[in-house]
Amino acid sequence: MCGRYSLNLENSKSNFKKDTVTKFPKIFSFKNTDISPSSENPVIFFNNKEYLFELFKWGLSYDWLSKGRVLFNLRSETVSDKNFSKDLIMKKRCLVPFNSYFEWQNIPPLKKKFILQTKEKISYFAAVYRETNEGNEYSILTKASEQNIKHIHDRSPVIVPKKLVKQWFSDNYFGILDSLSVSINYSEV
């Protein structure tokens, strides 16, 4: 699962083309060490053969959800099966840049907080988005956790390596959901 993450694009500009940084100055000044659902955050999506960077609200809101609730995570294993999300995974995929994310290990009566990150300075969550009258919303896809972090939490976000970004936005995206494994480092906070 992913319920909090951090992103400092101001310090991650060197990971992007200079033209991209210049074209989206508001996005590349973004910095938040405790991003939570319902906040607006940078998202990368592909439209008209161009990568675009915009702020989207984290969490899909539907009238059938309890008031104030949003779907901030969706299971990658079933996203194609659900009526509300099957079109999103086919046509509205996006990437959510991050530097690290947080998970809480629940061992009653305690909850231990862990910070998790890849070896890259910046990484990308696989996500889907939808357009609403109030603005665009996204939800991060999750999968069963890898063995080395399963003791912290049984679900973790799907992470798309930089080398597979083009594939994520292609018609051949599904292989990423099925077989992707990215090395995650963690430490207790």
CATH number at residue 28: 3.90.1680.10
Q: 89-117, pLDDT tens digit by residue?
A: 999 999 999 999 999 999 899 999 999 99
Q: How far apart are CA 168 and CA 166, in angstroms?
A: 5
Contacts of 189 (CB under 8 A, 6+ apart): 102, 113, 114, 115
Look at the chain and report how many structural domains it folds into: 1
| Residue 182 belongs to domain spanning | 4-188
Output the pLDDT for position 177.
79
Q: 37-93, pLDDT tens digit by residue?
A: 999 999 999 998 999 999 999 999 999 999 989 999 999 999 999 999 999 999 999
Output the pLDDT for position 179.
64
